[in-house]
Amino acid sequence: MKCKLCEREIIEKEFCLFHRYAYDKIKKGYVIWVEALDINWKDYLNEIEKNSLTGRWAKEVIKFIKE
């Protein structure tokens, strides 16, 4: 099975190692944001997508989650 976002083999669920790692980071980041800003999941994704510090892997994952 191939990752939903690239040609690598799936490690866990629908993602390869890199996209899975990025996904975990996005989820962990959300827990922190919710406590600080009372933001919802969709707004959070929009915010980090706009952030220039967000890496390429994470941006691909965000695009996938939002669809």
Q: Which residues form the interface with Zn ion (CB under 5 A)?
A: 3, 5-6, 8, 16, 19
Q: Do residues 56 and 48 lie in contact, with contact meaning Cβ atoms separated by under 8 Å?
A: no
Residue 15 or 45 with smaller CB distance to Zn ion:
15
Question: Which is nearer to Zn ion, 43 or 60 (by Cβ)?
Answer: 60
Exposed, middle or buried: residue 2 (CB in 10 Å: 0-12, 13-18, 19+)?
exposed
Tokens of 11: 């490690």
Give min distance, CB of 54 to Zn ion, in A.
16
| Closest CB to Zn ion among residues 19, 62 | 19
Residue type, 3: C
The least CB distance from residue 34 to Zn ion, in Å, is 26
